[in-house]
Structure 1
């Protein structure tokens, strides 16, 4: 296995000539490292505003934005100014504390998950032994935000969207975690750096031993379950705009809408980061720096979600629940059992 690099705060402290064992120094460098990783992910999310429209237009044979700046790139600051300058409208009868907190919960829960994702040589804030469990735990906090938004809005359509979000996330988080557990059985660790290091060898010839090649069935299951977790077709039931206006976010405007919209795409990138880490070798790749390969992989996952959004029709809520509990759960359990048997026999 490849050697495990020191976390980013310790690396920054050593580069600055400071004692990495000093608590104040470590706290300061942790804040700087968190700001760097957070800014990197938020920058990628800002680019999505432009890329989403271009990609969807290409899939559906339409002309995308091309008037605001070169290739429409200035739509990013234009949209930011437009949305943030809108009036924040607070409907009558909302549960104000929960209504105010929901957008913050949705947006921040995904950012927390990036703390333990190895993005390159030493580019990770922390490397706990329960790293994968931590990522799943923080990502699931978004479900609480969706329920808060739906319940607190005092709107039956928002409430229905919140209930659909709970039903969907419960139905698909279990297969997602069980499929992730099959990777843990192969790697023998929940630690993200160890999972990446376990994929550093070659499988056959030039093919790397990424778990997407070792267990393509688990990779396919995880990709499908991830579509449900990030609310992309055919599983965009919680907000289904043709059925329930905009679901849990119906009553939100201005900066609150921006936070919910931002949280949606941050979660897509977090899902891509998890997939890249546990199935695609993390930042591993030839010639280019690790961080570049890592970003290429998560953008590849984003491209897949946008393809699904444009090409796959939405299922009904009853079909969604049936696929989750009767299909994905059974297949993920079978995959977990088969993986345990194979690893047990090999060991």
Structure 2
């Protein structure tokens, strides 16, 4: 698969508009809504599998236990059972909550993650929008979740929830800056913030040929140090061990989500898993060639999904294998470690690109 093939693919909106035979502004609006609906449902189906079923199966495999295996083949129907169980529970509203903020918080988290996927090229023509500032849009959309966490924390009228909200703010500030600075090193390589250009730059050339095997020019191979930094910062952003400080069940019950039940509880965890997939999508797009992989371009969506599930598997391994950091260690690593290393990587990348160019 080559960058030329990726660039020549028709965006999803144009494809849908052509199929419907609707031109002009109306066609763009209708096609955009249908495209957003299709992408959202693709992600929601994967999240439904990842949350109630895959998470338990993977954790059980890592910890040598038996996971769900009674409800349906391989326990798959636990997805339906959990959905019915959680959605049928009573929505308990504690006394003294700030109701508007308390209601909006759980809605913001999944919405922000889904919004970030609008600019992610998934291959096989599945690309909803491709603005010149696509990378900035993706980070801006995902950062909206911080607002939801803070709203849930302070609006719940619960000290544990407030602590979780404050920890979430500290987490996002300390690790989102290194995450963005590390992504900026990719922008230096490509000279563009456009997602399709970033993918195309990784797929047009071969980095090396070893034993007859062509190694693609993915930025994970070009700059593995930046890739490691991005993955670690991403792990903190999605709240997985050793960086699950905002929730910390053994310390602050469940943090910002302590007072939520029923459908709001479902929305919070739905948003959490979609954010994990968004983190994997950004890592795949910036460092792993996006939908690039062996075989024809039509397999792009398959390779893309495989990459984000690989990132999901990594987060579940971290959740099972790594102990939680203390809050002071967590903040110190972010400000004194990750931030310094990300800026060092940025300067080094600029020097290397300057010398090569």
Q: Which TM-score band (shorter chain)? A: over 0.9
Paired position in structure 2 for 1:315: 325
Paired position in structure 2 for 1:208: 216
Paired position in structure 1 for 2:334: 324
**1:66-113 per-position Cα deviation (integer Å, ceiling 9, x unaligned):** 001111000001000000000000000000000000000111100000
Range that drifts further, 297-306 or 2-11: 2-11
**Equivalent residue for 1:257, pick from 261, 265, 268:** 265
Return the alpha-carbon distance in structure 2 between the equivalents of residues 122 and 11 of structure 1.
8
Range that drifts further, 119-128 or 303-312: 119-128
Paired position in structure 1 for 2:149: 146
Q: Give the alignment of 1:6-155 within 5 angstroms.
A: 6-19=10-23, 22-48=24-50, 49-155=52-158
Cα 1:186/1:4, change in 2 over 3 Å? farther
Return the alpha-carbon distance in structure 2 between the equivalents of residues 130 and 33 of structure 1.
20
Aligned length: 345
SS of the equivalent of 2:229 reads helix
**1:182-224 per-position Cα deviation (integer Å, ceiling 9, x unaligned):** 0010011000000000001210011000000000000000000
Contact 1:4 1:193 in 2 (8 A): no
SS of the equivalent of 1:121 reads coil
Contact 1:151 1:158 in 2 (8 A): yes
Return the alpha-carbon distance in structure 1 between the equivalents of residues 15 and 188 of structure 2.
30
TM-score, normalization: structure 1?
0.98
SS of the equivalent of 2:207 reads strand
SS of the equivalent of 1:123 reads coil
Long gaps (5+) in structure 2: none
Paired position in structure 2 for 1:228: 236
Offset, 1:4: 4.3
TM-score, normalization: structure 2?
0.95
Return the alpha-carbon distance in structure 1 between the equivalents of residues 71 and 144 of structure 2.
36
Offset, 1:287: 2.4
Q: Give the alignment of 1:260-275 within 5 angstroms.
A: 260-275=268-283
Contact 2:290 2:304 in 1 (8 A): yes
Paired position in structure 2 for 1:302: 312
SS of the equivalent of 1:314 reads coil
Offset, 1:121: 2.7
Return the alpha-carbon distance in structure 1 between the equivalents of residues 187 and 15 of structure 2.
27
Return the alpha-carbon distance in structure 1 between the equivalents of residues 274 and 194 of structure 2.
22
SS of the equivalent of 1:94 reads coil
Long gaps (5+) in structure 1: none
Paired position in structure 1 for 2:356: 346
**1:226-249 per-position Cα deviation (integer Å, ceiling 9, x unaligned):** 010000000000010000000000
Contact 2:17 2:30 in 1 (8 A): no
- 4+ aligned runs moved over 6 Å, structure 1: none
Return the alpha-carbon distance in structure 1 between the equivalents of residues 66 and 131 of structure 2.
46
Q: Does 1:281 align with 2:289?
A: yes
SS of the equivalent of 2:192 reads coil
Query: In angstroms, what is the RMSD of aligned CA positions?
Result: 0.8
